[in-house]
């Protein structure tokens, strides 16, 4: 039976019949997935950690949501989502499974397709106790702090790397429309000023497999997809009984 990937069973070989979005089809093609390719939906949980990586312009921090959409081609030939790399793993960015907003965010951090990248560290869940000009004190999760780009004196950096007590002028909010709206609700906007007070340990969490759908290919690719993306991938079982 033909169905969307979202409704397909786990553990069975699935043949991609079509991809109902040209942009997603192009991004998957870059990773070697086309109509007639065989994939398997995996029954696993996803833990999307914020990560610190080294790219062509030095060290940057990517939230779990951003990093989960970056596919890295490792030196040993495997292709994995960035959060699945081990510390010290090196490779190049093979593709990004998201739209133009994430590509623009990565470009602002000095990362693009084919760039060399190394995983330096997985960051534990932290909260950035911050004073927002015109609002007062808030607590920012580390993934959100990584999406705020600005200047501290004459240093351009992400807010996740800000120094406590120093004024931080917001220049840009990275990420998609949803992330930008969430940050705007905290009265954090371009041209505004933040001041970091402290960084504290946050309650840890683990995203369930319902938040991301994991697939693998016969060639060893592992891929995290949002449910709305999986809805656009039409599959059939290799036996025709999905």
Shared domain check, 88 and 27: no
Nearest Cα to Cα of residue 152 among 198, 196, 108: 196
What mean pLDDT, rounded, does the chain reach?
A: 88
Does residue 150 sit within a domain? yes
pLDDT tens digits, 186-195: 899 999 999 9
Q: How confident is the model at residue 206 (pLDDT cuts 50, 70, 90)?
A: very low
Domain count, the chain: 3
pTM given for the model:
0.72
Shared domain check, 137 and 77: no
> What is the reported pLDDT for 45?
65
Task: Please check the confidence at residue 89 and state whether its pLDDT lies above 90.
Answer: yes
Cα–Cα distance, 145 to 8 (Å, whole number): 36
pLDDT tens digits, 211-231: 688 898 877 788 889 899 999
Task: Please check the confidence at residue 132 and state whether its pLDDT lies above 90.
Answer: yes
Q: How confident is the model at residue 47 (pLDDT cuts 50, 70, 90)?
A: low
Shared domain check, 194 and 141: yes
pLDDT tens digits, 20-30: 999 999 989 98
Phi, psi of 21 (to 5 degrees): -150, 120
Does residue 242 sit within a domain? no
Shared domain check, 112 and 89: yes
The residue range of the domain holding 193 is 126-201
Q: Domain boundary at 123, 154, 180, which?
A: 123
Task: Please check the confidence at residue 92 and state whether its pLDDT lies above 90.
Answer: yes
> What is the reported pLDDT for 240?
53
Residue 177 structure tokens: 């429309």
Largest CA distance in the chain: 62
Q: 191-202: string of b/e by CB count within 10 Å (b at 16+)? A: ebebebeebeee
Q: Domain boundary at 123, 155, 171, which?
A: 123
Residue 80 structure tokens: 């994995």
């Amino acid at each position: 039976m033909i169905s969307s990937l979202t409704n397909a069973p786990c553990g069975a070989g699935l043949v991609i019949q079509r991809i109902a979005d040209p942009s997603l089809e192009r991004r998957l093609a870059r990773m070697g997935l086309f109509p007639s390719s065989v994939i398997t939906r995996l029954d696993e949980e996803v833990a999307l950690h914020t990560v610190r990586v080294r790219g062509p312009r030095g060290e940057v921090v990517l939230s779990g949501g951003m990093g989960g959409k970056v596919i890295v081609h490792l030196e040993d030939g495997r292709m994995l989502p960035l959060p699945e790399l081990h510390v010290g793993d090196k490779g190049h960015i093979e593709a990004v499974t998201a739209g133009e907003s994430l590509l623009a965010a990565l470009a602002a951090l000095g990362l693009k397709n084919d760039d060399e990248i190394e995983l330096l560290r997985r960051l534990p869940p932290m909260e950035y106790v911050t004073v927002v000009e015109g609002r007062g004190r808030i607590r920012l999760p580390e993934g959100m702090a990584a999406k705020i780009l600005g200047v501290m004196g004459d240093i351009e950096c992400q807010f996740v790397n800000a120094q406590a007590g120093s004024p931080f002028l917001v220049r840009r909010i990275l990420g998609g429309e949803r992330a930008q709206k969430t940050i705007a609700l905290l009265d954090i906007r371009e041209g505004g000023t933040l001041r970091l007070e402290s960084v504290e340990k946050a309650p840890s969490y683990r995203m369930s497999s319902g938040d991301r759908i994991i697939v693998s290919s016969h060639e060893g690719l592992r891929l995290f997809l949002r449910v709305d993306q999986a809805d656009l991938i039409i599959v059939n079982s290799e036996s025709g009984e999905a």
